[in-house]
Structure 1
């Protein structure tokens, strides 16, 4: 499958596909007359890359995970550890965002409370 077809199929820009190759997320994609030809293994790898990118993993972490994945079943524990670490990072982020939401809710409450007092309303 040519790069343009892959781009359309996965809704990823050609520039992004070239970038993934440049930073090492793809091994060298076969070229026929200078045109990239993606094989099934490349498509599977791209699918995994996009899944991990959508989750929020860095290119470095994606590359580490893919390398472990391609080493075989004996690296499953390490793969799980990478994913668990990323999961914990997401949970920490959610926790911090919830604290920020709570702070905003409190500020809104204070403003509404002050407005009630200003207009002579009782609590």
Structure 2
């Protein structure tokens, strides 16, 4: 399947496909007539890349994750560490947003109370 077809069918921006190709995660054999040809394995990897994008991974983190995923020797712990770090970061963001919501609620409470008096 050609890049434009993959982009359209799976709603993956061309920029992400370009990035994927630049990481060298496709085999050179799949480069046909000046264009990458994506097979089922590539599509599975692209699905993982999109999932990582959706949960907030940066391109550099995604590249690292994908390279580790393709390795077979002892990369599982490194992948778990990457996911654990991302989880901690997301939890910190959630806690910050909870504090912001508490402040908003406090300000609303103060305004409502001042209107009653």
TM-score after normalising by structure 1? 0.83
**Partner residue in 2 for 1:35:** 35
User: Partner of 1:120 in structure 2?
Assistant: none
* Aligned residue in 2 for 1:100: 100
- Report if the CA contact (8 A) 1:65-1:82 is conserved: yes
Q: Deviations over 1:68-87 (max 9, x none)?
A: 11111521111111101100
Q: Distance in 2 between matches of 1:64 and 1:44?
A: 17
For 1:32 and 1:58, the matched residues in 2 are separated by 30
Gaps of 5+ in 2: none
Distance, in Å, in 2 between the alignment partners of 1:111 and 1:3 is 56
CA RMSD between the two structures: 1.9
Count of residues in Structure 1 that have an aligned counterpart in Structure 2 = 116
Structure exhibiting the larger radius of gyration computed from Cα positions: 1
- Match of 1:74, SS? coil
Q: Report the CA distance shift for 1:33/1:18 in structure 2 as closer, same or farther (over 3 A).
A: same
Task: Deviation per CA, 1:25-47: give whole Å up to 9, x if none.
Answer: 74466322112211222111111
Which structure has more relative contact order (CA 8 Å, sep 6+)? It is 2
1:3-48 CA deviation, whole Å, 9 max, x = no partner?
A: 12211232122233224434x2744663221122112221111111
Q: For 2:31 and 2:71, how far apart are their aligned partners in 1?
A: 25
Structure 1: where are the runs of 5+ without partners?
118-123
Taking the aligned partners of 1:16 and 1:81, their CA distance within structure 2 comes to 24
Change (3 A) 1:53 1:43: same
